[in-house]
Amino acid sequence: MALAYLGSNKTNPTSPMSSPPQLILTQDQLKKIAAYKAVEFVESGMVLGLGTGSTAKHAIDRIGHLLSQGKLTNIIGIPTSTKTHEQASSLNIPLSDLDTHPVLDLAIDGADEVDPDMNLVKGRGGSLLREKMIEGCCKKFIVIVDETKLVDYVGGSGLALPVEVVPFCWKFTAKKLECMFEEAGCVAKLRVCCENGEAYVTDNGNYVVDLFLKKCIGDLRAAGDKMMRVVGVVEHGMFVDMATTLIVAGEFGVTVRNKC
């Protein structure tokens, strides 16, 4: 993985006025730092919600490594996606489900956006329904991000706010959602696979309609309730008041923030 440094390479290293080059970490390295910090909260004997995505992957790798070393024992993982299930299985992390363990000690996952109140946008990886089910059952939900995921308001990145919908008459459902947030400049688009242009299908056999917003949609709970009243909507990607701890890796180190 390539690293970049601040400062000119023309500086004379023997000059008393020169300073050592400053290391700049890549986005993936920042994600890894945040993930490893989150795993410090994991204790032996815990039932863990295992998130999905590039940041959560680092946390799962770390948990698997600590288990193999015997530094963690008696861990049970509840995966939030088929992909996470495969990764955890390859690391010999014991797995179960919510039917067997309806209350989790801790969940660790990334987020696509985090607003100043620690509300999240999740689901750009397509696992929002299972993530919300599992992370809604945990005593502590740790969110791990790099600083690029911080936004002023939900939708503030200009990227997708995902909504999982049933395939039947998805255009009708998408139009309903678009009209609902018309004042926020909402545009609703069906998510498609890059490989073949076909509709993306979630682990639950559903489609994802991505909402692109130009303005804040206001009260998030009210907005979420409105979406859930649209027939055909399965779940939305706003995780409101769910995160208990936020770990952010950035240019000046790692910050840990707990929900008041």
Q: Which two tokens stand for residue 210?
A: 């991505």
Any idea what the Cα angle at residue 166 is, between residues 143 and 89, rounded to 5°? 45
Q: What span, in angstroms and rounded, lies between the C-alpha atoms of 234 and 227?
A: 9
Helix, strand, coil percent values for the chain (each to nearest 5): 30, 25, 45
CA torsion angle 200 227 170 195 (round to 10): -10
- Integer CA distances (angstroms), 103 to 28, 85, 99, 140, 235, in order: 31, 19, 10, 10, 21
Q: What is the number of helices (H) and of strands (E) in the chain? A: 6, 15
Any idea what the Cα angle at residue 111 is, between residues 243 and 173, rounded to 5°? 100
Among residues 22, 77, 25, 70, which one has the least CA distance to residue 46? 77
Asked whether the beta carbons of 165 and 129 are under 8 A apart, the reply is no
* From 43, 113, 131, 164, active-site residue: 131
Active-site annotation holds for 147? no
Report residue 116 CA to chain centroid gap: 16
Residues with catalytic function: 131
